[in-house]
Copies of this chain bind each other. A is one copy, B any other.
């Protein structure tokens, strides 16, 4: 049953070995080189990227064999969990959000010219990308609310609108944006939207500010608020065709949620480890914290919650592989509800056991917390996913 394929296990082992040899020992350097720093090219990262690429531990996320090893969701999931354990790791292996989702979109929905121009350098780890979907002025979890417009004008499209939580746009190497907007507000509800490729250096595209998450700016990638004012791109930048935006969004979300969730599971595991280490090391009132049964109950509950969440994600991945993203949409909604909240809870416990150290940056826990908390909102708030699950459940009741 819970057996991974040999190919998956082989990658897993190699990734774990790489993490042990290179990534964990490099974390302190990475922290130091990126602290409040937007230059985007910390030397340790550059070095490890090259190493990982050389060892073939590269683009493992992509399902299409033309562009990478072609692992299935179920094969890649346990690897993504390992990458999630370290802030730097996803980029080391060229498996970082939002590029993974954007590369998937380009691989799956881009035409040859689009792939050549934008996908190739992304796959090489030479550029980065941004996904512009959410808008500040409307509840964007409802895609029909979106106000950004994409209007045809001759052989160009003109983009106007305001986006935020455009993640990755802070990076100096970020070259291309995939932008969701409406090209026909009068079309059928889910045919109004399109996705279009907009080079980040286009005139009229302005990053008006970077958004913090619980005080963290997540440099050097960051989350931007972006204004598009009469931004013009050639007509061939349209992805898949007018009115196909919602369809692309749906296709993008499935694997993206698997990645997000497995990444958070890796973080939750690391928080649990930290909690145990701290509990063993700390004495209060004549007793090791690890000998207190409230702490032990926290450890046990965390183990139960993490393991259940992981199995749920693996199950979703497996169903996506087996029956397709659409058939698995309940399973995908479920992991999006379960995992970020689980991670928030486990990390919160770890923070508590670390005392003042927990809320500071000394153990990385507060930062992890901000990521988990953010993901209860990003990619659709919990409420929207619960609604999706309930709808499918109620419908399935004969």
Contact = CB atoms under 8 A, between A and B. Distances in A.
Contacts of A138: 283
A318 interface: yes
Contacts of A141: 284, 355
Contacts of A290: 394
Interface stretch (A194-202, A233-241, A248-256, A292-300): A292-300
Contacts of A369: 214
A155 interface: no
Contact of A299 (B276, B315, B393): B393
A50 interface: no
Contacts of A307: 312, 315, 334
Contacts of A296: 386-387, 390-391, 394
Interface centre among A309, A334, A378 (most CB of B within 10 A): A334
Interface residues of A, number: 87
B215 A394 contact: no
Interface stretch (A80-88, A102-110, A115-123, A358-366): A358-366
Interface of A: 1-3, 74, 134, 136, 138-142, 145, 164-165, 211-217, 272-273, 276-277, 279-280, 282-285, 289-290, 292-294, 296-297, 299-301, 303-304, 307-309, 311-312, 314-315, 318, 330, 334, 337-338, 348, 351-352, 355-361, 366-367, 369-370, 373-374, 376-378, 381-387, 389-391, 393-394, 397
17 contacts: A1-B1, A1-B2, A1-B318, A164-B356, A165-B356, A214-B369, A215-B217, A277-B397, A294-B297, A297-B386, A299-B390, A299-B394, A304-B338, A307-B312, A308-B308, A348-B373, A355-B381
6 tightest A-B contacts by CB?
A215-B215, A296-B390, A139-B284, A215-B216, A311-B311, A308-B308
